Amino acid sequence: MNASKQARSAADGRRPRVLISGQNYGSNLSIARALSRAGYEVEVLRVLQQRPKFWQITGRLRPEAFSRAVSGYHVCVTEGDEHRLVEALLALADGQEPKLLIPTDDYVACAADRHYDELHARFLLPNVRGEAGALEQLMSKRVQKELARKAGLPVVEGRSIRVSRSPAGGAPLAEIPEALRYPCFVKPDMSVYTSKGSMCRCGSERELRGAMAQALEHCPDDELVLLAEDYLEIRREYALLGVSTPEGVFVPGLISADYDGHGDQRGVAMTGRLVPLGERKALAEAVERFVAGLGYVGLFDVDLIEDSEGRFFFTELNLRFGSSGYALTEHGINLPGMLADRLLKGKEASRPADVQEETRFLNEKVMLDEFARGYISLADVRREALRAELRFLRDARDSGPYRHFRRFFPYALARRLYHRLRQTARRLSR
């Protein structure tokens, strides 16, 4: 039904429409470019929890607004109220036929899933079996690990810890399992409720309780669940990017991270490589079977780690697509376009070609944050820019986003000097 309406729109000269929504401008832009190349009209709804302060460089950047791929750019400041987001989505709905909504972060994906019954008449949404709330349940890493284990994927063992605020304002309340071993790696069970910056290695109970307090600082609720996993020495981190459709699940390539960001950029590759599956083809096929059993329709990536002994472990399923998907698009493997073709045009999905050549990429968004915070030097920035065969923001066919982005280099330098001065002041005060 929706496909026939969109077909009539195409016959009338109107392109089918897609709304991309999320906080990450890099992901917004990469998916917008992919969909525009597939022939879709694309709008972006940028979602911010708070209006960015002057020194919050990333929050004030908006390169999507200057892209030729984006026909409309909108902003929603939620201030912690997801109903504002829902209202903004409904205001951007098409009055004639449903748009495809593609979330680019967990917050938007979760909010849309909670309000699925309210939104699905106006939007085609990523979903799990078409059930409201089912996608949110699948965001739990505890649930994911159990399903992955049943599907035959190796997982890192760990235990869950329920943490709550103390009524008296003291240390967080938590019952730590006696069988927990140190060191362990702590991360939130659901990333949508807290910051990635709370992920850390803990070598003792004291450090673990400190990590609990830090996680609660970034959590809007009075309670959250943390996972304390067995600690492994990681040789490399990977991601398998794919699309899940009613016809099947397709994973055509592997992202190998060379340098990850810090803090809230943890787990996001600044530099990395898109590589052929090669000897990891069997692992990709196992991931395809795992995702196929979930009843999910949408874009996704599966995070994996390789330990010091060369063993691979499943760590997380992200029910969304990050900016690294741009590397696949540049290889002619347009997974967002493939999803849109299936949902908006009713075109049956078929397996795309696998990645054949290795490509080194640079994510300028993470690079800017890493430089501003003092983790990398200007020489590092120049070296990586020269080494990269693909850059996510810089594109000769769509130059507006990068022209906007580079205007913020002086602000990044000022922020870097500010960090240096604070570090020096702390050392002198000891």
User: For the segment 50-92, what is each residue's pLDDT rounded down to a tens digit?
Assistant: 888 776 766 789 999 999 999 999 999 998 899 999 999 999 9
Using the predicted structure, report yes or no on whether residue 6 has a pLDDT greater than 50.
no
pLDDT digits (tens, 9 = 90+) for 126-185: 999 999 999 999 999 999 999 999 999 999 988 999 999 888 777 888 888 888 889 999
Number of other CB atoms surrounding residue 78 within 10 Å: 20
Domain ranges of the chain: 2-128, 157-230, 234-414
Instruction: Report the CATH architecture of 157-230.
Output: 2-Layer Sandwich (3.30)
Q: Name the residue with higher pLDDT: 376 or 198.
A: 376
Inter-helix orientation angle 25-37/335-345, to 10°: 60
Residue 179: what residue type?
A
SS3 of residue 94 by DSSP:
coil
Which helix (H) or strand (E) covers residue 315, if one does? strand 312-318
Q: CA–CA separation, 426 vs 270, rounded Å?
A: 28
The CATH code of domain 234-414 reads 3.30.470.20
Q: Mean pLDDT across the chain, nearest whole number?
A: 89
Q: ∠ CA(189), CA(192), CA(193), 5° rounding? A: 75
Reduced to 3 states, what is the DSSP secondary structure of residue 303? strand
Residue 16 to residue 6: CA distance in whole angstroms: 6
- What architecture is the 2-128 domain classified under in CATH? 3-Layer(aba) Sandwich (3.40)
Cα–Cα distance for residue pair 283/296, rounded to 1 Å: 19
- Give me the pLDDT at residue 21, please: 97
Burial of 362 (0-12, 13-18, 19+ CB in 10 A): buried
How far, in Å, CA of 98 to CA of 45, rounded? 16
Global pTM reads 0.89
Q: Can you tell me the distance from the alpha carbon of 384 to that of 205, in angstroms, rounded to the nearest whole number? A: 39
Query: Who has greater pLDDT, 390 or 414?
Result: 390
What is the Cα 309 distance to its own chain's centre?
28
pLDDT in tens, 344-373: 999 999 999 999 999 999 999 999 989 988
